[in-house]
Amino acid sequence: MPHPPEGPLAGLSAIVTGAGRGLGRAEALELARLGAAVVVNDYGQPGPGGTSHAEGHGGGSGEASDAPAEEVAAEIRAAGGRAVAHLGDVGDFESARALVDTAVREHGKLDILVNNAGILRDRMVFSMSEAEWDAVIRVHLKGHFNTTRFAAAHWRERSKEAGAPVYGRIVNTSSEAFLAGSAGQPNYAAAKGGIVGLTTSTALALAKYGVTTNVICPRARTRMTEDVFAGFAEPEPGHLDALSPEHVAPLVGYLSSPSASAVNGQLLVVHGGMVAVVERPRVAAKFDASKEAFSFEELEGVLGAYYEGRPAGETFGAGEVLGLKRG
């Protein structure tokens, strides 16, 4: 992974959460390849001579540890890039503050935030425990909020001091589980839907400060999703796996770059050599009350007739996204 002396992200500082493995690792390596200085975040314990858990700065010895973030940061540095590791929990408010502070302290400022960290606790809604619900919402949705809150405050303050917009990019991570529905993942689908709402709200709130906020729905074979994609075909020898994280990372690089300045508040599906732009919801039908307010009987008439003509089993979920593929 050689780093060019200059690239589209040269001079910029980035945070990637959940970057010790899988998607986050590929994204951190890609941002570094494009020239960014990276804070590699993943929850863990420091290896010998590695990062302190509380502060999350420093390097990494290159030795195996419970902190894969240190290994990714060391890999970036070995290729000529700039990177430090942060081992904090993004679901913790103060840890997220420390993560943003680490980027500012180590690299002078923060320009790019890639929210990727997440966990799975799959179960049908009638069997799910409160702990399984809370854990997934905490890491995915609250984790996205926590980092966004402190990054947004950083950019707002810089913009006020400069008297002009600054450079800021947020790339959030949702899922097709939100778009299409996933019967065995009510916690995950709800968290990912919340992230889309957070994205569109943040996009509107931060645009005047020069910050864009977008969200991707990636499909990738990682340690977290190995059971989900167990039935998908493995790649043929000599070919890149259609579910490789390397299909996703370039889109994150693009959305983080100056080239994507006009892209804001958007949702994109990405996997297997394909990127699809998902259109915002649109009103399918509208009914007016014959008098000042609807009665039950009138609603039964107009809505009953409308839904009788709709396809059986159709919901608000967009199941067709699951059939998207290259070609």
Largest Cα separation within the chain, whole Å, is 74
Amino acid at 83: A
The catalytic position among 95, 174, 175, 256 is 175
What token pair was written down for 278?
Answer: 């998902």
Q: Is 175 a catalytic residue?
A: yes
What token pair was written down for 253?
Answer: 């690089």
Q: Is 307 a catalytic residue?
A: no
The catalytic position among 43, 142, 174, 192 is 192
Least Cα distance to 17 among 199, 131, 147 occurs for 147
- Cβ pair 213, 151 in contact under 8 A: no
What token pair was written down for 184?
Answer: 């065995």
Task: Give the residues across from 267 on adjacent strands.
Answer: 215, 278
SS3 135: helix
Q: Is 286 a catalytic residue?
A: no
SS3 84: strand
The catalytic position among 13, 43, 142, 188 is 188
Q: Residue 194: how many CA atoms within 13 Å on its side-chain side?
A: 16
Active site residues: 175, 188, 192
